[in-house]
Amino acid sequence: MEDELRDMKAHKAYYNMLHFVSEAQQGIPKLCPCGSITKEFVDEDDTYDYLPGKRYFICTDYQNDGLHFRQPWVMGVQQEIERLKLKFLEQEKLLRECEALKVQVKMLLERVLPEPEERPVGVKAAKAAKKRKKTGKEEELAKLESLLEIKKQISKQSLLESLLAKSEPLSEMESALKMKLLSELL
């Protein structure tokens, strides 16, 4: 039992080390393959022109034995910027899709929800409209509307007369139309 537990712990440590190695190779490393935390380090001995030294991400327990990690700062930051750019582009794409969906939802809501009906004219507003003088176009429009109403009445009456004058029996639709016209005109 103890041997199995020891093997499991060894496998877990090995898999954790593999994870740390793969994570350390991308962007700003957080953990060294040995499992310790990485820190930012400036190598004062490595100077170039007027720059005071090179920056590195380095293991806190660093020894130059190949088991610990030392990554140039520029590479880590550059990879991290690339990762953040990709993340930003994904978020921007999602925002555009959300805007398109918002427009579609708005259109669907307009289709589903009826527009509010106009409020009926109040008593005072109706009296004021009667007293108000109509312009020439309003008078013509009122005359045309009354003529259209009269024309509708005449066409309904002529249709009813033709249905009443029929000698043969009426179909169901014709009898329903006849009843409807009688109820409207009487």
- Contacts of 78-83 with CB under 8 Å at 24 or more apart are 79/26, 79/27, 79/28, 80/27, 80/28, 83/26, 83/27
Q: What is the pLDDT of residue 106?
A: 87
Locate the domains of the chain by residue range: 2-84, 140-185
Average pLDDT on 143-152 reads: 87
Q: What is the pTM of this model?
A: 0.39
Would the pLDDT of 159 be above 80? yes
- Mean of the per-residue pLDDT values of the chain: 78
Would the pLDDT of 151 be above 60? yes
Q: What is the pLDDT of residue 175?
A: 84
Q: What is the pLDDT of residue 90?
A: 93
Q: What is the dihedral of CA 135, 139, 142, 146, to 10 degrees?
A: 170
Determine the Cα–Cα distance for residues 71 and 78; give it in Å rounded to an integer. Answer: 12
Would the pLDDT of 50 be above 60? no
pLDDT tens string 75-93: 777 888 888 899 999 999 9
Determine the Cα–Cα distance for residues 36 and 97; give it in Å rounded to an integer. Answer: 42
Q: What is the pLDDT of residue 75?
A: 76
Q: What is the pLDDT of residue 2?
A: 86
Query: At 137, is the pLDDT very low, low, confident or very high (cuts 50, 70, 90)?
Result: confident
Q: What is the pLDDT of residue 58?
A: 75
User: Which segment of 5-19, 62-76, 84-98, 145-159 scores lowest on mean pLDDT?
Assistant: 62-76
**Percentage of the residues of the chain whose pLDDT score is greater than 70:** 76
Q: What is the pLDDT of residue 68?
A: 67
